[in-house]
Chains A and B, each alone.
Chain A
């Protein structure tokens, strides 16, 4: 089954404690992204990657890091989380070719930073 998986699904942590949210896709997609969703603000892109070892900032990259060492994985790293990073996070992937750039989203990770 084609899917994007994220772990953990829920996380409560404290300010300053480094954390990583994993994302994996099994569709051999070139393009992967991380979004955060906050009420009234829609989905805002944090980082994206067009292929292995190619990453770039989205609209709200401050406080986040990513890496793309393998095509299937795109972890999101919060080196020193702060309360304003409390949010619902989605990983997404899509093909980079073919014309229809349908994005497949993971189930989401609800993060609370106290």
Chain B
């Protein structure tokens, strides 16, 4: 069946460093969504990408959807301690979730 793989599983950065998480699907996706889950919290929707090659920005966050609509990335510029949490991608009509990337930020 459809699988969505996300790497890395963990990322530890110094505050101010950049961070990127990658999402890859075994099949073409109709759309990709990104969620953030703070420690002890629930996933919260960040964004949805639909078009091939689409790039969207939210302040320091940049989201990309690949040309083939099989991969996506989330890039955070100059991380802050408020960015701590687990970032999930989720794709397709059934919204298959990746395993998540847990980001920790050292002040």
Contact = CB atoms under 8 A, between A and B. Distances in A.
Contacts of A102: 33, 45, 48
B42 A40 contact: no
Taking residues whose C-beta sits less than 8 angstroms from the other chain, chain B's interface range is: 20 to 34
Contacts of A40: 9, 99
Contact of B42 (A41, A59, A99, A106): A106
A61 interface: no
Given A42-B100, A100-B48, A101-B31, A90 B94 contact: no
Interface in B74-94: 88, 90, 94
Contacts of B50: 99
A96 to B, nearest CB: 11
B95 interface: yes
Given A101-B31, A101-B33, A101-B95, A42 B88 contact: yes
Contact of B97 (A44, A48, A99): A44
A102 B49 CA distance: 11
A112 B43 CA distance: 21
Contact of B99 (A41, A59, A90): A41
A62 to B, nearest CB: 15
A105 interface: yes
B68 interface: no
Contact of A105 (B9, B33, B42, B99): B42
Contacts of A11: none
Contacts of B35: 103
A102 B88 CA distance: 13
Interface in A14-49: 33, 35, 40-45, 48
Given A41-B99, A90-B43, 20 more contacts: A33-B95, A35-B97, A42-B6, A42-B88, A42-B98, A42-B99, A43-B43, A59-B1, A59-B96, A90-B42, A92-B43, A99-B50, A100-B48, A101-B95, A103-B35, A103-B90, A104-B45, A105-B43, A106-B42, A107-B41
Interface of B: 1, 6, 9, 31, 33, 35, 41-45, 48, 50, 88, 90, 94-100
